[in-house]
Structure 1
Amino acid sequence: MRKLILLAIMALAAAVVPAAVASAATTSPGRPAPAAGPTAEELLAKTNDCNQISNGKYQTDEDAAGGSVAVCDGGSAVFWKADLDIDCDGQRTSQCNEDTDCCFQPDTAFHQSDGRPLDAANLPYIVVPSSSDIWNYESSGLQGGGSCAVIYNGKVEYAVIGDTGPDRIIGEASYATANDLGINPDPSNGGTDAGVTYICFKNSSVDPIEDHGAATSTGQDLAGQFVNG
């Protein structure tokens, strides 16, 4: 009887040990993390050269002297390098309302799947200039809900195209985008004057537009194609 018990214990140990070893192998320190899309450096390396497609250059602010930002064609994406002003339009929240933002508008150019405006405080999105003689974003294969990567200070944030702005100013993103990138998101005194790269992938779409998880996974896939293609 004692021999049978011993044999049973040995058999159980043989079954458990390989599983434990396999588990340790997948969680051991130093093991590479699952792929999470290209790094900021890899993406920025693809934006060193600008094949300008805008008819002239955009201003970064209303009081900026002359245009300084070109929109460039990068093959499967278009990109520009600018500042980041805070967009707090859309749904009223404690962060975004008439009291926190002098220019608050209770609507966005593109809406959630339930028809409501986007939530700038919680959804990372960027603003593209309204179509003009400088550039028509739709002619470049961009649309509301399109996928973009926003890069600042070594960080990459995946966002959607969520709003449109003035036709001669570029460089704006939602409160949530700035916050995730470590930029002061306050609509009254936040943002940054330079150092932000926007890469928007042609003919892309995130559905529903308010699903940031889908925006991230879609963006990572398209960013990988952009870097490798």
Structure 2
Amino acid sequence: MRLRTLALAAASAAALLAAGILPAHAAGAQAPASAQEGSVTAASLLAKVTSCAQLSNGKYRTDEETSATVPVCGKNGAVFWKADMDIDCDGQRTTNCNEDRDPWYQDDTAFHQSDGKPLKAESLPYVVVPSSSSIWNYTGAGIKGGGVVAVIYNNKVEYAVVGDTGPTQIIGEASYATANALGIDPDPATGGADSGVTYILFKNSKVSPIESHSAAVTLGNQLAQQFLANN
């Protein structure tokens, strides 16, 4: 009964928002109309990234054995790419992120919590960006540790932060928590998604503290609304 009530409330909010009766910030306080975070839909974000103005000097592979097919693209206020999702379980040891569960486990992340400790991949939605190289330098594009990312998969929107860096030639990786929230198998050894994941990184953004997912959702929803208005 509670789920049905929330769904009806969300549908009513969406209808009022579409009609211009309900302001966006009020709609954001309601349960979203679909399984997503915030008031901005997956479809509306995807409609803004149908074409690519390539920023990267080359393209990235999604895995070691694949060819380089993924460019980093630019939009007003953001960069984006469309790739797969490999599972990053690095950072603090937890029940599902440790040496026993992840054959590639490392006990650190490129960016740290406000207390100086590595991030927790199992509980914090974060995205991995390729380490800076001749292909693309993420810092030069206004992307920072703790920056907000809208991750879209299967009509769901999950807000994450830039939390780690990865290989210089591979793209498409996010934390255990990111995958889990989007309905992707989060197992670091066997999980992930082969394709269909869109990552929109908002330039010059920074969540503080980086480990606050609620802060990422609040800022992410605001930036997503700006992204829609400016593109």
Whether 1:61 and 2:42 are equivalent positions in the alignment is no
* Corresponding residue for residue 5 of structure 2: none
* Corresponding residue for residue 31 of structure 1: 12
Identical amino acids, percent of aligned pairs: 63
Residues 16-39 of structure 1, C-alpha deviation per residue, up to 9 Å, x if partnerless? xxxxxxxxxxx9796316223310
Deviation at 1:163, TM superposition (A): 0.1
Change (3 A) 1:144 1:32: same
Contact 1:85 1:191 in 2 (8 A): yes
What amino acid sits opposite 1:78 in the alignment? Answer: V
Q: Distance in 1 between matches of 2:48 and 2:148?
A: 17
Q: Distance in 2 between matches of 1:30 and 1:70?
A: 36
What amino acid sits opposite 1:165 in the alignment? Answer: G
Quote the RMSD (CA, aligned, Å): 1.3
* Corresponding residue for residue 193 of structure 1: 194
Q: TM-score, normalised by structure 2?
A: 0.85
Contact 1:37 1:221 in 2 (8 A): no
Q: Distance in 1 between matches of 2:9 and 2:63?
A: 50
Larger CA deviation: 75-84 vs 29-38: 29-38
Q: TM-score, normalised by structure 1?
A: 0.86
**CA radius of gyration, larger in:** 1
Q: Distance in 2 between matches of 1:219 and 1:29?
A: 19
* Corresponding residue for residue 164 of structure 1: 165
Runs of 4+ off more than 2 Å = 27-31, 33-37
* Corresponding residue for residue 78 of structure 2: 77
* Corresponding residue for residue 40 of structure 1: 42
Deviation at 1:63, TM superposition (A): 1.0
Residues 87-128 of structure 1, C-alpha deviation per residue, up to 9 Å, x if partnerless? 000000010000000010000000000000000000000000
Contact 1:37 1:223 in 2 (8 A): no
SS in 2 for 1:32: helix
Residues 138-170 of structure 1, C-alpha deviation per residue, up to 9 Å, x if partnerless? 010001000110000000000000000000000
Change (3 A) 1:118 1:137: same
Residues 195-224 of structure 1, C-alpha deviation per residue, up to 9 Å, x if partnerless? 000000000000000000000010000011
Aligned pairs (5 A) from 1:136-155? 136-155=137-156
SS in 2 for 1:31: helix
Contact 1:86 1:175 in 2 (8 A): yes
Unaligned runs of 5+ in 1: 1-26
What amino acid sits opposite 1:95 in the alignment? Answer: N
Q: Distance in 2 between matches of 1:76 and 1:51?
A: 13
* Corresponding residue for residue 6 of structure 1: none
Larger CA deviation: 108-117 vs 30-39: 30-39
Q: Distance in 1 between matches of 2:10 and 2:178?
A: 31
Q: Distance in 2 between matches of 1:30 and 1:172?
A: 33
What amino acid sits opposite 2:117 in the alignment? Answer: R
Q: Distance in 1 between matches of 2:172 and 2:9?
A: 42
SS in 2 for 1:182: coil
Unaligned runs of 5+ in 2: 1-7, 15-26, 29-37
Change (3 A) 1:52 1:98: same
Q: Distance in 2 between matches of 1:32 and 1:148?
A: 25
